[in-house]
Amino acid sequence: MSQETVKLIYQGQTFELPLVTGTEGEKAFDISQLRRKTGLITLDSGYANTGSCTSSITFMDGERGILRYRGIPVEQLAERSSFVETAYLLIHGHLPSRRELTRFSVLLNDHSLVHEDMRSFYSTFPRFSHPMGILSAMVNALRSFYPELQTIEEEIDMTVTRLVSKVRTMAAMSYKISRGHKVVYPRPDLSYCANFLNMMFDTPVRPYVIDQDMVDALNVFWILHADHEQNCSTSTVRMVGSGRVNLYAAISAGIAALWGPLHGGANQAVIEMLKKIHQGDESIDRIIQRAKDKSDPFRLMGFGHRVYKTFDPRARIMKKVCDRLLEKLRLEDPLMDIARELEARALSDSFFVDHNLYPNVDFYSGIVLRAMGIPTNMFTVMFAIGRLPGWIAQWKESMDDPSWRLARPRQIYVGPPETAYVPMNEREDREPGPIHRPGE
Active site residues: 305, 362
Per CB under 6 A, contacts with ligand CMC among 350-389 are: 355, 357, 360-362
Q: How far is the CB of 387 from ligand CMC (least distance, A)?
A: 9
Nearer to ligand CMC, 11 or 350 (CB): 350
Q: How many CB atoms lie within 10 A of CB 288?
A: 17
Q: How many residues bind ligand CMC (CB under 6 A)?
A: 21
Instruction: To the nearest 10°, report the CA torsion of 229, 234, 240, 243.
Output: -20
Q: Does 319 bind ligand CMC (CB under 6 A)?
A: no
Q: Does 290 bind ligand CMC (CB under 6 A)?
A: no
Q: Does 340 bind ligand CMC (CB under 6 A)?
A: no
Q: How far is the CB of 42 from ligand CMC (least distance, A)?
A: 18
CA 242, 248, 253, 255 torsion-angle sign: positive
Q: Does 214 bind ligand CMC (CB under 6 A)?
A: no
Nearer to ligand CMC, 185 or 351 (CB): 351
Q: Does 304 bind ligand CMC (CB under 6 A)?
A: yes
Sole binder of ligand CMC in the list 266, 277, 342, 368 (CB under 6 A): 266
Nearer to ligand CMC, 302 or 389 (CB): 302
Per CB under 6 A, contacts with ligand CMC among 42-81 are: 46
Q: Does 228 bind ligand CMC (CB under 6 A)?
A: yes
Q: How far is the CB of 382 from ligand CMC (least distance, A)?
A: 13
Per CB under 6 A, contacts with ligand CMC among 74-103 are: none
Q: Note whether 183 and 158 are within 8 A (CB).
A: no
H or E segment to which residue 14 belongs: strand 13-21
Show the DSSP H helices in 185-307 as ranges: 192-201, 212-225, 232-241, 247-258, 266-279, 284-292
Extended beta strands in 24-106, E state: 27-29, 58-61, 66-69, 72-73
190-203 in b/e form (b: 16+ CB < 10 A) is bbbbbbbbbbbbbe
Q: How many CB atoms lie within 10 A of CB 94?
A: 10
Distance CA 46, CA 50 (A): 9
Q: How far is the CB of 263 from ligand CMC (least distance, A)?
A: 4
Q: Where along the sequence are the contacts to ligand CMC (CB under 6 A)? A: 46, 228, 231, 262-264, 266, 291, 299-306, 355, 357, 360-362
